[in-house]
Structure 1
Amino acid sequence: MGSRVARLLEADGHEVLAASRATGVDAYTGQGLGEAFAGADIIVDCLGAASRGAKACIDFHVTTAGNIIRAARAAGVNRLLCLSIINAREPSVNRFMGYYQGKAAQERAYLLSPLHVTILRTTQWHDFARRFSRTMRVGRWAFVPRMQSQPVAPDVVARLMRDTVEAADTSPRIVELAGPEARDMAELARILLSGEEPAVRVVGIPGLGLKVFSGGLLPPVGVPLDSETFDQWLEGGRRA
């Protein structure tokens, strides 16, 4: 997502510095943050932890947020946009989801900081079905949780992030967006792989009563909805 947003901002004429370990910037250790933030108007945080364990994810997101806040203040940068997940902060949803606990801790750290912070939360993206299908793969069998979600097109999320950046200091503290329809993640993986990897068979795994698998990821009433469905996204050739 960071690359998508950077391309859109550059197309609009903004100067963008893509800060990552590949460019010598490590948000976890703090290395290179001061130099990267010098002269910046806004910081866009699209970070995600590689681990899924709660302890590691919380440590990663709290540590990186703390380093970014300190470096931003030292560089005189007052605005920050952070990408997050709808319902990740809900204890009934993130109880067994370490990554979501990490994102919830990240949100708290940023919202308690002195920076002008906007948290942009979305539901899962259309291409998440592919990611799930690759997480638990045994031979030609892909095991995907039967999880209700309301996915949104990733390019739409990138455009919303760009628009939020360009809104300057008028952006609200919380921005949310969801897709137009509730779908089962295993079903979406089956549809996606039927065109990309037809030899692979998708097996839906029941959620065993956990809220994250039984509607806990669906957006609350009142969250703005995008109009592009999963099927329209596929028909438009926007699989990446």
Structure 2
Amino acid sequence: MSKIVVIGGTGLIGSKVVRLLAEHGHEAVAASPNTGVDTLTGAGLAEAFAGASAVLDVSNSPSFADADVLAFFTTATRNISRHAADAGVGHYVALSVVGAERMTDSGYMRAKVEQERLIAGSGIPYSIVHATQFFEFVGAIAGSATVDDEVHLSEALIQPMAADDVAAAVARATVGTPTGRISEVAGPEQFSLAGFVRTGLAFRGDPRPVVVDPDACYFGEKLTSHMLLPGADAQLAETRFADWLPLNPPPTR
């Protein structure tokens, strides 16, 4: 049994990972501000890392403003790296985004790339997992793209996946041997971004029309057709959007 610290372990992906690791006999520590661990100040990190063999970072910035998100990921990563190195942690794993390195106009994606750079230079053996968009984010994507009750999105291609499959992928990476590189995971099907959101809203009874707008930005980036797609060697999950939707109905109003 290994002790594994999951930064952001009470969030969407982190809570699923903690459960998976525990089911496989590992001591999974959910590290987040509400469990007494603050990566921005470093509080609680030394205690959390004591005796740990690996750390997995699936945390996210509370603010997506360019300066805020950059400060979050750089400060947190430096603190995690320092305390993990001091504790002799042997594997540093992080979840990032497919296409992040291509989305140079997006402050959020620039911050994720900087996070990855800091991890690679930390001196700790590492693995970085790039995932595509989550099915669970369909509502948030629509909300961020809504203008006058219309959802404006491009037809750039995406290959989204279920959060359960993301959690399984990063859990596997964390208990595995450090790769020293980026690997990609994605869903089994491609959609246009506009079509994906249109399907999700229709299933949920959301009346907002989805307008195809080639000039619409995604996280501050004007997308090209293949910018969000994984490479040919990506590991593909099995869960299909049509199968996921009935199992994840909208909240009761």
Structure-2-length-normalised TM-score: 0.83
Partner residue in 1 for 2:171? 162
Could you list the per-position Cα deviations for residues 178-210 of structure 1 after superposition, in whole angstroms to 9, with x for gaps in the alignment? 2222212332222222232x2531333514186
Q: Which runs of 5+ in 2 are unaligned?
A: 1-12
Greater mean deviation of Cα atoms: 5-14 or 147-156 = 147-156
- 8 Å Cα contact 2:54-2:92 kept in structure 1: yes
Letter in 1 for 2:210: V
Could you list the per-position Cα deviations for residues 33-67 of structure 1 after superposition, in whole angstroms to 9, with x for gaps in the alignment? 11111111111100111222222222211111000
Matches within 5 A, 1:197-208: 198-204=205-211, 206-208=213-215
Matches within 5 A, 1:203-214: 203-204=210-211, 206-208=213-215, 211-212=222-223, 214=225
Partner residue in 2 for 1:226? 237
Matches within 5 A, 1:121-200: 121-136=130-145, 141=149, 143-146=151-154, 147-167=156-176, 169=177, 171=179, 173-196=181-204, 198-200=205-207
CA distance in 1 between counterparts of 2:206 and 2:238 reads 32
Partner residue in 2 for 1:215? 226
Asked if 1:94 is matched to 2:101, the reply is no
Deviation of the 1:145 alpha carbon: 2.1
Deviation of the 1:32 alpha carbon: 1.1
SS at match of 1:108: helix
Number of residue equivalences:
233
Give RMSD over aligned pairs. 2.3
In structure 2, the CA distance between the partners of 1:143 and 1:75, relative to structure 1 (3 Å rule), is same
Partner residue in 1 for 2:55? 43
Identity %: 34
CA distance in 2 between counterparts of 1:166 and 1:79 reads 9
Partner residue in 2 for 1:82? 94
Partner residue in 2 for 1:110? 119
SS at match of 2:127: strand
CA distance in 2 between counterparts of 1:132 and 1:142 reads 12
Letter in 2 for 1:217: L
Matches within 5 A, 1:7-18: 7-18=19-30
CA distance in 2 between counterparts of 1:81 and 1:230 reads 27
SS at match of 1:78: coil
SS at match of 1:181: coil
CA distance in 2 between counterparts of 1:239 and 1:99 reads 29
- 8 Å Cα contact 1:126-1:153 kept in structure 2: yes
Structure-1-length-normalised TM-score: 0.87
CA distance in 2 between counterparts of 1:18 and 1:94 reads 32
